[in-house]
Amino acid sequence: MIRKTRIFLEMIKFEHTIFALPFAFVGAILGAVTMQDRLPAWSEIGWVILAMIGARSAAMGLNRLIDKAIDLRNPRTEKRALPAGLLRSGEVLAFIIISFALLFFAAFQLNPLSVTLLPLAVFMLVIYSYTKRFTWLCHVVLGLTIGLAPLGGWVAVTGAVDGTAILLYLSVALWTAGFDIIYACQDFEYDRKVRLHSIPARFGLAKALGIARVFHACTGAGLIALYWLTDLGLGYLIGLLVALFILFYQHRLVKPHDLTRLDTAFFTMNGTLSMVVFIFTLLDLVVLHQW
């Protein structure tokens, strides 16, 4: 059982939850303060965590199940749990069903809008894995899916959506799309060979990295706009400056002719950025703002 658990956690890359979960907390805290002048209840945060775990686990399980044949032919992914035979398709399908059940259960503990938006969330979680088969905009679809984390956090505690929530959603969506383009650069040749769609495969490495920079510039602009449109203050501003530096530095690590530091740019930089934005937003709204 312990071995199986480890295999499942490796399959869904549980450690990558650090990319989206901190932004779900940002959405919850910023939404509660902005729209209701309060902080989220611990119960609301708990249900947000469970919903995030369910949504992300279902999404990753679906991705691995749908891409099983593709992963088997790719030297980079052939040792993943499903193509390597460490897990059976039926086991992964059961895992997906349980994960969706957790998402649904958590959403029903929150508010009517959280439940109303469930079909959209499920559709986005399912469709992403198929998009690489027919469009190089697959990175944008992934961004719009991961961006549901802060939007979901916002809706979970407010039961409403406004322009600020949409701005946060799009900022995180473009951030995700940008770093997914960078990550896809390592499969540039394989994607072209088997005719899978991606921005690197469509436009080449240099132009793909340029598009990622544009996306991340838009993310930076969105995070700056949040500072002016909300009650966020000095604490957030300090974290924002650190986040902007991380975005800039990330693109210094990866070159079209040198992808050796791609893992650092993808895992370390993005995990750090999401935590920085969350910690300094928390400091600003929970400590400085309340004081």
Q: Is the pLDDT of residue 271 over 90?
A: no
In this prediction, residue 16 carries a pLDDT of: 65
Distance CA 23, CA 251 (A): 21
Q: pLDDT averaged over the chain?
A: 91
Higher-pLDDT residue of 80 and 141 is 141
Q: Is the pLDDT of residue 82 over 70?
A: yes
Tokens, residue 232: 């966020």
Q: Name the CATH superfamily for 11-286.
A: UbiA prenyltransferase (1.10.357.140)
Q: Is the pLDDT of residue 291 over 70?
A: no
In this prediction, residue 290 carries a pLDDT of: 63
In this prediction, residue 12 carries a pLDDT of: 66
Instruction: Please enumerate, as own/partner, the contacts of 236-239 that have beta carbons within 8 Å and a separation of 24 or more.
Output: 236/280, 236/281, 236/284, 236/285, 238/280, 239/276, 239/277, 239/279, 239/280, 239/281, 239/283, 239/284
pLDDT over 90 percentage in the chain: 68
Distance CA 98, CA 230 (A): 38
pLDDT over 70 percentage in the chain: 97
Q: What is the pLDDT of residues 188-235, one digit of tens each?
A: 898 998 899 999 999 999 999 999 999 999 999 999 999 999 989 999
Higher-pLDDT residue of 277 and 289 is 277
Q: Is the pLDDT of residue 1 over 80?
A: no
Sequence ranges of the domains in the chain: 11-286
Higher-pLDDT residue of 275 and 8 is 275
Distance CA 247, CA 269 (A): 8
* Burial of residue 2 (number of CB atoms within 10 Å: 0-12, 13-18, 19+): exposed
Q: Is the pLDDT of residue 136 over 80?
A: yes
Higher-pLDDT residue of 168 and 263 is 168
